[in-house]
Homo-oligomer: A and B are copies of this chain.
């Protein structure tokens, strides 16, 4: 008999079935006992009355993997309107040692560090499993939107000869006796590949040796990167990003307030909205929250673009704002008051790269093979990078990105 999942029980009323999964919970009442079995699809209720099976059930521990054969019966009082009766129960492994926290309660009571110390177990809690499924759906939405728009998926090196975003926050690696680094982003590669495929995206890990212990930073996170050529400016990039975000939200089945036009404010306006000093070169988290509140209040939007970030705070490959060279064609997208996406138009002329690096006092040599590409014909282009864990955390209301990553990494955590 083929195993079926919990969600398939309803179609099998009256039929013999075989279930398999984890002992989620037992309820041992006086005349009857209930075994709740958890599988990938959800929970099944198994009704036990036979004394020998009850005796077996009394010995079972939570999380033991079992196979249950029995007959499906309709019961409007049962969780999904059906239950399995007359069961036989067979262990598919040794009896489990119960986890250090109860997985069957509606909320995980353990502290976040305890959950993370036992991630392989805490992830089994339906609330944590839901975040993993939301991540998978969000990534599928990212890809399907970009596939539709003619983007090609690429895979680029994670071991690089020079840091991409800044000299700090980079992990050093011994590469066959040579110094190398873990890539902080696929930035240079996705740009070079615009010269090949025009429109590319990558879903992959990026690495930041973040010294901070915050609820929104990880030492490794999943970056959803896209880059496209033949743009007029950053507005073409923002239009693609809007479609991508809509696709991601829809794929998760969650709801987020996204008007037909995502509001956008120039950086100088954002400072005013946030009540920040007008000579600030960047938005602090409190400023981002204020701009997010403004977008929701004034435009009914959970999303808001801040354009025109000062060049001083953007990487050297950023395209300046025409006519206002202190500002850039770089933008951030805030989602519910937190920076979720960084993007913008990039430089595309070799001479501009040479000048940009010189202006920052940086040598060309570490960037040679990247900068060289721009001598050989590169179209105007731009792109963006979405932090997957931030997206899922904001979408599901998790206060900490560690709640939505499978096995998060930070300066204190290297296991499991």
User: CB within 8 Å of B: which residues of A?
Assistant: 3, 20, 22-23, 39-40, 63-65, 92-94, 96-99, 117, 119-121, 123-124, 129, 132-133, 135-136, 139-140, 147, 150, 152-161, 171-176, 178, 180, 182, 189, 192-193, 195-199, 203-205, 207, 209, 219-220, 222, 230, 348-351, 369-370, 372-373, 375-380, 388, 405-407, 409, 411, 414-416
- A154-B173 in contact given A93-B377, A195-B120, A349-B94 (Cβ < 8 Å): no
Q: Nearest-CB distance from A8 to chain B (Å)?
A: 11
Cβ B377 vs Cβ A158 within 8 A? no
- Give the nearest-CB partner of A133 in chain B: B152
Compute how far the CA of A156 lies from the CA of B123 in the bound complex, rounded to whole angstroms.
13
19 more contacts with CB within 8 A, not counting A159-B219, A189-B407, are: A63-B377, A65-B378, A65-B379, A92-B379, A96-B377, A119-B192, A120-B193, A120-B372, A154-B406, A155-B222, A158-B207, A159-B220, A160-B414, A173-B174, A175-B219, A176-B209, A182-B182, A204-B204, A369-B415
Please determine whether A132 and B406 come into contact, CB atoms closer than 8 angstroms.
Answer: no
Contact A121 B155 (CB under 8 A): no
Q: Is B171 a contact of A171 with CB atoms below 8 Å?
A: no
A416 to chain B: which residues have CB within 8 Å? 192, 369-370
Q: Which residue of B lies closest to A22 (CB)?
A: B377
**A65 partner, pick from B63, B65, B150, B377, beta carbons under 8 A:** B377
With both beta carbons as reference points, the residue of chain B lying nearest to A211 in the complex is identified as B176
Closest to A182 in B: B173
Determine if B379 and A195 form an interchain contact, defined as CB atoms under 8 angstroms apart: no
Given A3-B230, A150-B40, A414-B180, do A155 and B205 touch, yes or no (CB 8 Å)?
yes
Q: How far is the CA of A235 from the CA of B189 in the complex (A)?
A: 40
Contact assessment for A121 and B193 in the assembled complex, using a CB-CB cutoff below 8 Å: no
Q: Is the CB of A198 within 8 A of B40?
A: yes
26 contacts between A and B (CB under 8 A): A40-B150, A40-B198, A63-B376, A63-B377, A93-B348, A97-B376, A99-B376, A117-B369, A120-B195, A120-B376, A124-B196, A132-B196, A132-B197, A133-B197, A155-B405, A157-B409, A158-B205, A158-B220, A159-B207, A159-B219, A160-B414, A171-B173, A189-B407, A192-B416, A204-B204, A205-B205
Residues of B within 8 A of A405 (CB): 155
Give A195 to B129 CA distance when docked, in angstroms: 11
